[in-house]
């Protein structure tokens, strides 16, 4: 199959992260089998999703890993002019959910498999296709566990995220956390008798914004990034049950996207101290007042040295002379 034919097939699998990716993985595994490539599946706990890992070439020397994720972001609420899971061509461009991020890369890798098989490779090519990257790089963690036990590990890894073929050597780390504020319920007609958990949350959100200002003024900077400093961001908030009830609970989700030089746990520690201070200010009257912060997911940043062998190697393939760092993580 040619690249576009493979991409058309891959786009047709609606592998939004909430869905299973097993049909797509089965298609890839069957395709590889047809070219004499044995692959291994690494499932999640429920068995509804899987990573695929394969090696082409000698297995006793380090090689190059080509890594991509099979899940895509949702299309809910988006105004598509055609079915996002049916690839269409218009004016030389191909449209569909995942064409760039990142089934286009997977299709390109698969289309090259016949050539990989016919060459007498001195070093192996590793194929690594994961699940649930879009919701926190979840699937690849299981693949890493398997690779940790391999007698010979890949020397390099090329991740086919959409960079317009620019060589990206870095991305920020990410810490995803939930802040839960515990107040005291009351009827709104007697509002002073309760402790409004939404107000506690608003104080914590203000503390996060103040910490962001502090980080901008005193933290590290890296001008290779569009946003050259560590960021803190509140994205989701949930609190209250009715307008006439003082809410006893409110939670919100926030994230830290950190430069390598900034320690996200140090920032989390500062927020923990602030949470304790805010709750303590109310505990004389409301002893059960409390604010909890829980980390729900995290992954490290990438910061490959500009003169690293892998950077020079990839630049020689792309013809690029420069490199970049990307705002997203993978």
Distance separating alpha carbons of residues 245 and 191, to the nearest angstrom: 8
Distance separating alpha carbons of residues 130 and 104, to the nearest angstrom: 15
Structural domains in the chain plus CATH codes = 3-162 (3.40.630.10), 172-299 (3.30.70.360)
* CA atoms lying within 13 Å on the CB side of residue 31: 24
Given this model, what pLDDT does residue 113 score?
97
What mean pLDDT do residues 83-102 have? 94
**Residue for token pair 């690029």:** 320
**Residues with active-site annotation:** 71, 133
pLDDT tens-digit readout, 180-221: 999 999 999 999 999 999 999 999 999 999 999 999 999 999
Average pLDDT, the chain: 95
Residues with Cβ within 8 Å of residue 183, at least 6 apart in sequence? 194, 195, 196, 197, 198, 199, 200, 246, 247, 248, 249, 250, 286, 289
pLDDT tens-digit readout, 32-87: 999 999 999 999 999 999 999 999 999 999 999 999 999 999 999 999 999 999 99
């Amino acid at each position: 199959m040619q690249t576009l034919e493979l991409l058309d097939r891959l786009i047709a699998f609606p592998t939004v992260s909430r869905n299973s990716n097993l049909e797509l993985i089965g298609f890839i595994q069957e395709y590889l089998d047809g070219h004499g490539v044995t692959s291994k599946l690494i499932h999640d706990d429920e068995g509804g999703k899987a990573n695929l890992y394969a090696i082409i070439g000698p297995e006793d020397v380090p090689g190059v890993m080509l890594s991509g994720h099979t899940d895509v972001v949702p299309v809910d609420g988006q105004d598509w002019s055609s079915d996002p899971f049916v690839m269409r061509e218009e004016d030389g461009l191909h449209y569909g959910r995942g064409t760039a991020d990142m089934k286009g890369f997977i299709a390109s890798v698969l289309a090259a498999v016949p050539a990989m098989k016919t060459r007498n490779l001195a070093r192996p090519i590793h194929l690594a296709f994961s699940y649930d990257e879009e919701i926190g790089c979840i699937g690849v963690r299981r693949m890493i566990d398997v690779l940790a036990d391999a007698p010979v590990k890949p020397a390099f890894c090329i991740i086919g995220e959409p960079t317009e073929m620019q060589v990206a050597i870095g991305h920020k780390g990410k810490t995803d956390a939930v802040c839960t504020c515990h107040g005291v319920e009351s009827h709104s007609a007697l509002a002073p008798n309760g402790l409004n958990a939404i107000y506690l949350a608003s104080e914590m959100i203000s503390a996060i914004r103040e910490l962001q200002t502090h980080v901008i003024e005193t933290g590290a900077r890296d001008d290779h990034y569009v946003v050259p400093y560590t960021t803190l961001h509140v994205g989701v908030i949930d609190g209250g049950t009715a307008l006439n009830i003082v809410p006893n609970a409110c939670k919100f989700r926030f994230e830290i996207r950190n430069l390598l030089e900034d320690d996200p746990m140090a920032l989390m520690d500062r927020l923990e101290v602030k949470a304790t201070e805010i709750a303590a200010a109310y505990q004389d009257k409301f002893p059960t007042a409390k604010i909890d912060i829980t980390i729900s997911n995290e992954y490290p940043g990438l910061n490959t040295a500009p003169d690293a062998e892998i950077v020079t190697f990839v630049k020689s393939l792309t013809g690029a002379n420069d490199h970049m760092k990307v705002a997203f993580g993978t």
